Amino acid sequence: MIDSASDNEDNKDNKGKYFSLFNTIINARKFNIEILVSTFTEKGRNRAIERTQKVIRCYYLFGKELKSHFDKLKELGNKDRTAQALVNEEVRKQLSYKYVERTISIAQKVYEFFNEIGEDKMQIKSFSAEEISELSCDDIDFIFAKLANLQKEKNQEDQEGINQEEKDQVIYIE
């Protein structure tokens, strides 16, 4: 079911959100010879890392906005395919067709990736948003499993530390 009357208010609220996020992505990705040359210095490398992280964060926010709009359309009674088509149409109204499909694809993959492992893990230094979007399902499953195992080990170590502290405590009874 497409509810265009009640959706018009949401569209007014969303007007420009995709365009704004997309422009931030494009501006952050612009190749700049000054940045390239400056990567030979520590300060330059730090700026390059910050720029990469900013692009990843922008793709994440773009994907989050896509998911939010998709969920709203689903709540209005639209099926998955229809809701996705409506989201894509809204994005196409704001962005050049040339970039829409690739940008949506990267944003969705980056959002799903960091939504699963945690937004706090976005301090990534060795991968760009495009590289994350090109990870295979097997690669992503491997990363998720590895992170889950690391978290499990950390939880066990934390529990062992708590148990040891409890053993070390002396209880005085008067």
Contact 79, 62 (CB under 8 A): no
Angle at Cα 59 formed by Cα 56 and Cα 61, nearest 5°?
110
Number of structural domains in the chain: 2
Question: Per-residue pLDDT for 68 more than 60?
Answer: yes
Structural domain including 31 reads: 4-134
pLDDT: is 81 or 51 the higher one? Answer: 81
Pair 15, 45 in one domain: yes
Record the tokens describing residue 52, joined without a space. Answer: 């990469």
CA–CA dist 169, 167 (Å, integer): 6
Q: Tell me the C-alpha to C-alpha distance, in Å, between residue 16 and each of 9, 72, 149, 154.
A: 13, 17, 41, 43
Look up residue 154 and give its amino acid. K
Model confidence, pTM? 0.56
Q: What is the pLDDT of residue 79?
A: 93
Residue reference for tokens 């067709």: 97
Pair 95, 24 in one domain: yes
